[in-house]
Structure 1
Amino acid sequence: MSLMDRIDNCHRHDLSRYVPFKVDARQVGFMRRDMASELRRFPSVFRVAADQVSVAEHLDSFDYRSAAIDSVMRELRQEGFIRGWRDELFTIAAHFGAEPLFDLERAGVPLFGVKAYGVHLNGYVRRDGEIWLWVGRRAANRPIEPGKLDHLVAGGLPSGVKPFDNLIKEAAEEASIPKELARRARPCGALSYRMELDNCLRDDTLFVYDLELPADFVPRNHDGEIADFRLLPLSEVERLLAETEDFKFNVGLVIIDFLIRHGYLTPDDPQYSALALGVSRRP
């Protein structure tokens, strides 16, 4: 494992295992072939061909599509085909800010290989001129990467919620960060990746924020998603990223970007150019 491995792992995928998923002739995802086969049973909602899957033409509005697709998702859930149901809807569109096409249960998003979005917060403090990063450990019951190290605050972007509003909400739930303090978080860009995980395709964009916290701040979790927190110097964070698999798969991408932006990694490092270009790689 190395820092570059962390980046490369977030971009490993084989699209030959998937078929395009389209809405109104616009490709919005890549669907697993077994998922496509399952959807043949629902011809009033999906048109399944050998080389693509599309939403039926008569479902020509956001509301019609959302309701019809949700009914299929719930039936597949009852049959055990969809696991990890979250009762949380994500809005599906060709790209961020584009016309919303339909809402989809979060657990179904990787099955369709559609774009999803989230927020990640680098919460840090300064000690004797050095930066220390707050890191959370995911609860053992999390559906994805239980027990792995994670950001102080991170979460998917639900339907109808703006990224910064979502960050404020997640900050309170996950780390007990007061709203007045969370509002000081600074947007620092977005990172995208496309990777295969658990036999699904994740096509994600993460909105990244930095927040310098008071030296005496101690996070406390309220929603049960984080088991505990630790405050680590950047040298230890880098070691864990480079030498272990302790961190959740996409967290390394965001932290490497943080290490570069804050000057911890510099052009004197032989891997600097590859890392800097790698974190900004487009799927």
Structure 2
Amino acid sequence: MRRIILSTESGADIPVDLADKYDIQIVPMHVIMDGVDYLDGELPVPDIYDYYNRTKKIPTTSATNTHEYTEFFTKIKESFPDCIIIHIGYTSKASASFQSAVLAAKDFEDLHLIDALNVTGGLGAVVMYAARLLEKEPTIEPAALVGKIEAAVPKSRLAFVPGSLDFLKAGGRVSNAAYLGATLLKMKPLIELKEGKLVSTKKYRGEMGRIIDKLMRDYFTTYDIDKEQLYFMYSLGFDEGLKPRINDLAAEMGYENIKWIQAGAMISTHAGPGGFGIAALEK
């Protein structure tokens, strides 16, 4: 039986321990700061925050390009001869990365591309679903696995709240008026993925702990979430003291298989410090 290899971008924020356990291959996206192009994963997140504090600007980010994908897929084929690659990509609605993968894939056989229409933990939830399925059914036919992954894509639910609006304002995603109003009223937007696009669906008011309580109750009321795995994402600067309360709330709702995921440099560039999110698959 030919080996199936799963791959994705660094924007999935797959923790190193899970990537190693399931041999998930990860291609880096880019963060450009002070004129230097860094591969996502090489730039420490605190450096991004320091840069903002100095300049009141945020770095820019860019997609993995076609040449990089060609090298990436070639390296996988060299490391795992005769393998079949299933690449689960960052939403094509928010990045050119998936289109670059499509162009590179023309030079390879036995390479399947799936647009996850999601980012960070939402993308990671789909990748990890595929990894666990492959672990349970190692002899599954590639076409069957691809079909199950594609069926899981619309079931992935991501919701997150930024720690502050500073980075969203610096990136031009929030107007000055909206920023001032939200700051005065202690309001934060709920960001969700809708048809592959990041959209603000509602606003929460209050301190972060209270907001997270509301977010979790709304999330589990709105979506019929599969209890097999639940992901909590956070960016550096998040109040670690809130984690026990969050874990307890999840347990009260019947969710015990929890994995905390720290946002990498690419996602942190847009989300800023102190953010919190939830990702999982619906039943």
TM over 0.5: no
**TM bracket, shorter-chain basis:** under 0.3
Structure 1 length as normaliser, TM-score? 0.25
Kindly indicate which of the two structures has a greater share of residues assigned to strand: 1
Identify the structure with the greater helix proportion: 2
TM-score scaled by structure 2? 0.25
